Amino acid sequence: MLGYAKTKYRYSAILLRELVVTDFKLRYQNSVLGYLWSLLRPLFLFVILYVVFVNFLKVGNNVPHWPVGLLLGIVLWNFFIEVSNTGIRAVVERGDVIRKINFPKYVIILASSVSALINLLINLVVIAIFMAINHVPLMATLLLSPFLILELFIFSLGIACLLSALYVKLRDIAYIWEILAQGLFYASAVIYPVTLVLDRSPRVAEALLFNPVAQIIQDTRYAAVSHSMPTLYSISGSVMVASIPVFIAVILFACGAWYFKRQSPYFAEEV
Amino acid sequence: MNKTKEASEVALSVKGVSKDFILPHEKKSSIKSAIVGAFRSHDRSVDVQHALSGIDFEVKKGEFFGVLGRNGSGKSTLLKIMAEIYQPTEGTVSHRGKLVPFIELGVGFNPELTGRENVYLNGALLGFSRKEIDARYDEIVEFAELENFMEQKMKNYSSGMQVRLAFSVATRAEADILLIDEVLAVGDASFQRKCYDYFKSLKKQKKTIIFVSHDMSAVREFCDRAVLIDKSKVVASGATETIANKYTQLFLDSIKEEDGSDSNNRWGDGRALYSDISLAKPLITEKDKALQFDVTFEAKRDLESIIAGSSLTTATGYEYCGTNTDHQNLVIKDIKKGEKVTLKWSYPNIFSNGRHYVNLSLHGHSGADVADWWTDAMHFDVRKKEQSPFVVTPDIDIKLERQKSR
């Protein structure tokens, strides 16, 4: 029985590695700058948002190191959206293989998520350089950020599992998600500091941070950039309340994984 | 004790497997139809297609096992269930050892990747780690004869090159049980040969092989045992020879069912017409010496002369033998109106298996003035033990003489 489990995960591991490697090879094929684009894209988006919101609309002027916080938010948000957007179509796109051979289907979603994770880690290096240039002080809480990234990874993976399994049955999901993601972007405090909301209503700020993406972005800003960034804990003052978004993330992951596992034996017929 | 040993010899067992496909009249892949469908759930009409029902069989370790069936019989669905690609609606499939399905060669091949990269990707799908491929890589390339192309993108490969590379990877798969679909052996004749040579080598290695096919001759050549599937059910199982004969019979029966009367198979000016045709025996076996049939035609007016002929055609439409009264120096002259002429035909039994058609003709000396031209006037079936790829199988004699070298 143990041997069986071993060979089972051995196959998944082999497949995962090969799919991630393939994804990397294919991603920026035939482009001159190649992999640099995964750094340039968020940087250019950052420049645009910086000019519009910070220079022009004067958002976040009173927040220390806001530009770094802004870039961090963009990078984390991009990771989330990359996992969900590539994940949603991943199963259907691999339909040809699914119909020909049996393999653990979760590897498909895991592979696209791991690709995005590697991408994120490279982007974080850029942020580190950016932080050094901006003289952001090195804080002990920085050590918390890997856990926050893990939470983001789990949450994104759960969403991707759920969406991709639904997408096999219902193609409208892609469009629905597009709209939802657009709304979630503004609800995740990516382009504005939470202080902006907090000044008007602490209740709304709290509700905003129940969203795991917002909570993760804000907590990472707190942990890595500046302790003056408000977090759900600092607003509510309660550990119980502060852990609600973490629960949401874990529950969503569990639901997504459960639904995916339940549906995956029928992918070959439905895809 | 004895029982456990017996059980361990079973490599794959299929128990009571049924598979239904639910085919909604309109596929619910958009929200609107899903919502509309939900409201009409009571009278929603769905077609349930029973692809398989109550399939039972066991494959022993080291056996070359055939699954034979016509197109649409459900054998491909069964293959996918055995490969665990589809879930059975009822029943179970269990196997011992590593099972590798070959439903298609080169699964996962990506045209944008190089040959080398595709070998690793395809290999991973077959369960090979990087290291394992590294160890076999040179062998794979050599066998595929693609030494100079491995760093090129697959989109620049010819289809033949792709198949060669895919096959080369596939032959390295170290499986205990192989599921092989007939479509593997597509491509040119030399590739088919290579495939069949590979099957033979597998047979020698005593691997368990399950071969799904509608090609009786391939099943006959390789398989020890087989099951015959028709209309979603196992019709027969046992020794290959028995199964192959049943399959032929099934095929002939189905043609009988489809038989209808054609109206476009007869033409001519009608100055004389065949009125009575009768076949002595509709089924010819090796025991019969000849095919015999009587035909009678009636002159509709006074005729100076007429030539009567007949020919035989295979089911594929190949006219392979025939003659007429003129060629046989039989003269039919001065026929009065209303006179009936009967011809007793006899063809030697040189027929190969399958269905054959008899064509009849009545015409003048020029050949153009046709009185009655009747294609497929009758048909007969041939069922012989000997399988031959040739159109005719006359008795052929070989005498062997050897002379020792001095």
Q: B141-152, pLDDT tens digit by residue?
A: 988 888 899 999
Which residues in chain A have their CB less than 8 angstroms from residue B108's CB? 97
Higher pLDDT, B86 or A8: B86
pLDDT at site B8: 52
- Average pLDDT rounded to a whole number, residues A241-267: 95
Nearest-5° Cα angle at A251, A248 to A252: 80
B193 burial (CB, 10 Å; 0-12 / 13-18 / 19+) is exposed
Q: A29-76, pLDDT tens digit by residue?
A: 777 887 788 888 888 888 888 888 778 888 777 888 888 999 999 999
Option in A14, A19, A266 nearest B127 (CB): A14
What is d(CA B70, CA B56) in angstroms, rounded to the nearest whole number? 18
Which residues in chain B have their CB less than 8 angstroms from residue A169's CB? 28-29
| B307 and B210 fall within a common domain | no
β partners of residue B21: B49
Q: Do A100 and B85 touch (CB under 8 A)?
A: yes
- Average pLDDT rounded to a whole number, residues B205-230: 85
pLDDT at site A4: 64
Per the CB < 8 A criterion, the answer to whether B394 and B293 are in contact is no
Q: Do A26 and B101 touch (CB under 8 A)?
A: no
| B238 and B335 fall within a common domain | no
At residue B42, does pLDDT exceed 60?
A: no
At residue B29, does pLDDT exceed 70?
A: no
| B282 and B239 fall within a common domain | no
**C-alpha neighbours within 13 Å on the C-beta side of residue B31:** 5
Of B222, B255, B288, the residue that ends a domain is: B255
Option in B83, B101, B127 nearest A11 (CB): B127
Residue B334 to residues A60, A88, B304, B337, B342, Cα–Cα distance (Å): 117, 86, 5, 10, 15
Q: B47-94, pLDDT tens digit by residue?
A: 788 899 999 999 999 899 999 888 788 888 999 999 999 999 999 999
| B73 and B127 fall within a common domain | yes
Q: A176-214, pLDDT tens digit by residue?
A: 999 999 999 999 989 889 988 988 888 999 999 999 999
- Indicate whether B388 belongs to any domain: no
What is d(CA B226, CA B203) in angstroms, rounded to the nearest whole number? 15
Which residues in chain A have their CB less than 8 angstroms from residue B129's CB? 10, 14
Per the CB < 8 A criterion, the answer to whether B280 and B293 are in contact is yes
Q: Do A170 and B103 touch (CB under 8 A)?
A: no
Q: Do A171 and B28 touch (CB under 8 A)?
A: no
Q: Which of A4, A6, A14 to mutate to test the interface with B (most CBs of B within 10 A)?
A: A14
Which residues in chain B have their CB less than 8 angstroms from residue A21's CB? 120
- Average pLDDT rounded to a whole number, residues B172-197: 76
Long-range contacts from B159-165, C-beta under 8 angstroms, 24+ separation: B160/B187, B160/B188, B160/B191, B162/B106, B162/B109, B163/B105, B163/B106, B163/B187, B163/B191, B164/B191, B165/B106, B165/B115, B165/B118, B165/B119, B165/B140
What is d(CA A43, CA A40) in angstroms, rounded to the nearest whole number? 5
Q: Residue B354 is part of a domain; what is its CATH number?
A: 2.70.50.60
Distance (Å) from the C-alpha of residue A39 to the closest C-alpha of chain B?
Answer: 24
Q: Do A101 and B31 touch (CB under 8 A)?
A: no
pLDDT at site B4: 46
- Indicate whether B94 belongs to any domain: yes
Q: Does A8 touch chain B (CB under 8 A)?
A: no
Q: Do A14 and B31 touch (CB under 8 A)?
A: no
At residue A264, does pLDDT exceed 70?
A: yes
| B124 and B179 fall within a common domain | yes
pLDDT at site B3: 45
| B145 and B235 fall within a common domain | yes
Which residues in chain B have their CB less than 8 angstroms from residue A3's CB? none
Give the total number of structural domains in chain B: 2
Q: Do B29 and A170 touch (CB under 8 A)?
A: yes
- Indicate whether B397 belongs to any domain: no
| B145 and B243 fall within a common domain | yes
pLDDT at site B105: 81
Which residues in chain B have their CB less than 8 angstroms from residue A175's CB? none
| B12 and B112 fall within a common domain | yes
User: What percent of chain A is modeled with pLDDT above 70?
Assistant: 97
Q: Which two tokens stand for residue A101?
A: 């051979």
What is d(CA B16, CA A190) in angstroms, rounded to the nearest whole number? 57
Nearest residue in chain A measured CA to CA from B129: A14
Nearest-5° Cα angle at A146, A145 to A150: 115
Q: A98-144, pLDDT tens digit by residue?
A: 999 999 999 999 999 999 999 999 899 889 988 998 889 889 999 99
Q: Give, rounded to a whole angstrom, the gap between the first and last alpha carbons of chain B.
A: 63
pTM of the model: 0.74
- Indicate whether B183 belongs to any domain: yes
Higher pLDDT, B264 or B88: B88
Using CA atoms of B223, B227, B228, B229 in order, give the dihedral in degrees to the nearest 10. Answer: -130
Which residues in chain A have their CB less than 8 angstroms from residue B128's CB? 14
Least confident of B37-51, B146-160, B198-212: B37-51
Residue A174 to residues A47, A78, A111, A155, A162, Cα–Cα distance (Å): 29, 17, 20, 18, 12
Q: Which of B129, B132, B153, B169 to mutate to test the interface with A (most CBs of A within 10 A)?
A: B129
| B124 and B96 fall within a common domain | yes
> Which residues 152-191 of chain A have a CB within 8 Å of chain B?
169-172, 176
Option in A7, A100, A268 nearest B107 (CB): A100
Q: Do A269 and B84 touch (CB under 8 A)?
A: no
Q: Do B130 and A17 touch (CB under 8 A)?
A: yes
Q: B91-129, pLDDT tens digit by residue?
A: 999 998 888 888 888 888 999 999 999 999 999 998 889
At residue B262, does pLDDT exceed 50?
A: no
- Indicate whether B376 belongs to any domain: yes
- Indicate whether B324 belongs to any domain: yes
- Indicate whether B89 belongs to any domain: yes
What is d(CA B179, CA B185) in angstroms, rounded to the nearest whole number? 13
Per the CB < 8 A criterion, the answer to whether B161 and B149 are in contact is yes
Higher pLDDT, B318 or A210: A210
- Indicate whether B401 belongs to any domain: no
- Average pLDDT rounded to a whole number, residues B284-293: 90
| B71 and B143 fall within a common domain | yes
| B334 and B273 fall within a common domain | yes
Q: Residue B152 is part of a domain; what is its CATH number?
A: 3.40.50.300
Least confident of A44-48, A236-240, B289-293: A44-48
Which residues in chain B have their CB less than 8 angstroms from residue A22's CB? 110, 113, 117, 121
At residue B5, does pLDDT exceed 50?
A: no
pLDDT at site B2: 44
Q: Do A102 and B83 touch (CB under 8 A)?
A: yes
Q: Give the domain extent around B276.
A: 266-382
Q: Give residues with Cβ within 8 angstroms of B300, minimum separation 6.
A: B270, B271, B272, B273, B337
Burial B164-179 (b: 16+ CB within 10 A, else e): bbbbbbbbbeebbbbb
- Average pLDDT rounded to a whole number, residues B212-218: 77
Which residues in chain A have their CB less than 8 angstroms from residue B77's CB? none
* Length, in residues, of chain B: 406
pLDDT at site B32: 67
Going across the sheet that includes B46-60, the strands are B46-60, B10-24, B90-95
pLDDT at site B33: 65
What is d(CA B171, CA B165) in angstroms, rounded to the nearest whole number? 10
Q: Which of A242, A256, A249 is nearest to A213 (CA)?
A: A249
| B241 and B278 fall within a common domain | no
pLDDT at site B180: 87
pLDDT at site A63: 85
Give kind and range of the element (H or E) at residue A217. helix A212-220
- Residue B193's pLDDT band, with cuts at 50, 70 and 90, is confident
State chain B's mean pLDDT as an integer: 84
Q: Do A101 and B124 touch (CB under 8 A)?
A: no
